[in-house]
Structure 1
Amino acid sequence: MSIASTQEHFDVIVIGGSYAGQAAAMQLARARRRVLVIDAGVRRNRFAATSHGFLGQDGRSPDAIAAVGREQVQAYLTVQWLEGKATHARRTQDRFTVQDERGQDFHARVLVLALGVVDDLPEIDGLSDRWGRSIFHCPYCHGYELAQGRIGVIGVGDVSLHQAMMLPDWGRVTLLINGSAIPDETQRSGLQRRGVILEPTAIRRIIESATVELVDDRLLAFDGLFVASRTRVASPIAEELGCAMEEGLLGRYIHTNEFKETSVPGVFACGDAARMAGSVSFAVGDGAQAGTAAHQALIFR
């Protein structure tokens, strides 16, 4: 449905229409609540050709999963969908006002923030061009497809040691230290038990599909590479509203309770912006929890 008027009041505004936002909106729509979804159309996994680990959708295109989800959400008559970017949000008495990039204001009693995150990647020549295609962050999402082949872990800190310890279940692993933290004796012993090879030489660039060129001119060919990106919430709206943030191993995210409510009453958050781990499965579960909790907030407050 198209937007009838910026003066229209909604029960809930969902900011972000990817997997978490769609799941939240569907729960609210099924409760026959009036919902506005504002979506800029920029999904975190837009670089990946296939999505894995999401029950019933394994191996499908992320685009296809999102498109079907949006179609199903929009089939509910109480849902309206606005393509665009929400830029500001504020509380005014007993409601919230959300402004979009066109300067339009929309009003609701409750907000659900499904803002997503941005991946900040190491500045290595050739890395960003291969992100989501042959260079990944999640072994559960992409490890199986490497068929127990050659896997490289690009070192960015202690989190890379964690990745290197996990990934031997998916293939033969080399940890490319690349100037990051050098494992101590205890860590080396653990990596050795897992069969991980340590490569101390720095990386010059990444070529072909997943071949690492080192500064000493050696080429190490891999079937896939993993790196732990730093993440940041893709919009300042949560902090603008005064939502408390947490500092995680990979970056800041929005603090929520077990019902996905933030520190600001009436504001819920879900998806990658509100948890340290990210996948389609987690996002959908998070969104469903946020949507049902947002509905109950409309009733019991």
Structure 2
Amino acid sequence: MDDVIIIGGSFAGLAAALQLGRARRKITVLDTGLPRNRFAGHSHGLLGRDHKPPLDILAEARQQLARYQTIRLVNARADSISGAIDDFSVLTADGESLAARRLILSYGVVDQMPDVPGFAEGWGRSIIPCPYCDGFEVADQHWGLVWSGPQSHNQVRLFHDWTDTLTVLADGHEIPSDIRADLARRKIAVVDGRITEIASPGGHNAVAMLDNGSRVAVDILFAHPRNKPSASLHESLGLATVDTPLGIVLKVDERRETSMPGIYAAGDLTNPQLPSVTTASWQGAMAGIFAQQSMLA
């Protein structure tokens, strides 16, 4: 029996594995090899690994974990979970049955691409969600923001640290008059009409075609599509969740433990508001530490 099975081997999962491996705990990491940021050319904001391709960072992390003999990395998907604290069972898609005292869920989320031609193709390159991740590289350029709801108003305020040139694409949303007045005060253009297609001519550039015939060209386009957990294991377990403007996340306490004793969670699966490799790594490390401490005699 393992001490801990970690489901999801991206930044949060591997950070948890590192802490547990250094504590000489026996663990298995299950991973499908499809991290959320695989579409991005570079990852930013991670100390010591700034502006490095995310897949390269993960590959190096796995190489470093190889020195810990109690860590087993398995390329497999977890199909089901059963049991309770000190006696969990995980069945993989390959038919392997694993047992562990604790579980860490770090299988992340998937972004739900809108049915707009060109959106998925530009995602992570000309269409991005996070100014902390990529804003520095496109600072002082013309930014576009696809309006997605009331939370977009705060994004407008946030973006001013990077650029003074911003165009809001309403994309069919009814933006209240008081918010429109505030946008006008900030000298931010609002373009009405629903987006029907997005072209990415090269680099970060994006051109949005609207149903009213308008075309809006920007140097970078920010958008915040809803996301959902990349697996449904938490549903079968009945774990408590929280509905946020961007999607469903798992509810955890200050020790990263979910509503079921012995199951911890970290990364984008618990934090859609500020997704980054830094926060995912920190949360994963803490989940590993708290899981280890919960098993002390």
- TM-score calculated relative to the size of structure 2: 0.94
Percent of pairs identical after alignment?
39
- Pairing partner for 1:216 from 212, 216, 241: 212
Shift of 1:235: 0.9
Q: What is residue 3 of structure 1 aligned with on the other side? A: none
- Pairing partner for 2:242 from 219, 239, 246: 246
| C-alpha distance in 1 between matches for 2:182 and 2:46 | 31
Shift of 1:154: 1.0
| C-alpha distance in 2 between matches for 1:174 and 1:165 | 13
Is 2:227 the counterpart of 1:235?
Answer: no
- TM-score calculated relative to the size of structure 1: 0.93
Is 2:255 the counterpart of 1:269?
Answer: no
Shift of 1:92: 5.2
Number of residue-to-residue matches in the alignment: 291
CA contact (8 A) 1:89 1:241 kept: yes
Is 2:9 the counterpart of 1:10?
Answer: no
* TM-superposition CA deviations, 1:41-84 (whole Å, max 9, x none): 11000000001111111110001111111111222111011101
Shift of 1:196: 1.6
Query: 3-state DSSP class of the match of 2:12?
Result: helix
**Equivalence map 1:130-169=2 (5 Å):** 130-169=122-161
| C-alpha distance in 1 between matches for 2:167 and 2:197 | 16
CA contact (8 A) 2:129 2:224 kept: yes
- Pairing partner for 1:281 from 259, 278, 282: 278
| C-alpha distance in 2 between matches for 1:289 and 1:127 | 35
| C-alpha distance in 1 between matches for 2:265 and 2:94 | 24
| C-alpha distance in 2 between matches for 1:20 and 1:158 | 29
RMSD: 1.4
Question: Mind listing any 5+ residue stretches in structure 1 that lack a counterpart?
Answer: 1-8
- Pairing partner for 1:293 from 282, 290, 295: 290
- Pairing partner for 1:192 from 181, 184, 198: 184
CA contact (8 A) 2:12 2:283 kept: yes
CA contact (8 A) 1:152 1:173 kept: yes
| C-alpha distance in 1 between matches for 2:236 and 2:121 | 33
Question: Mind listing any 5+ residue stretches in structure 2 that lack a counterpart?
Answer: none
* TM-superposition CA deviations, 1:248-279 (whole Å, max 9, x none): 12111000001100010000000000123211
**Equivalence map 1:21-170=2 (5 Å):** 21-91=13-83, 94-170=86-162
CA contact (8 A) 2:196 2:209 kept: yes
| C-alpha distance in 1 between matches for 2:157 and 2:189 | 11
CA contact (8 A) 1:178 1:201 kept: yes
Letter in 2 for 1:215: D
| C-alpha distance in 1 between matches for 2:125 and 2:183 | 26
CA contact (8 A) 2:143 2:167 kept: yes
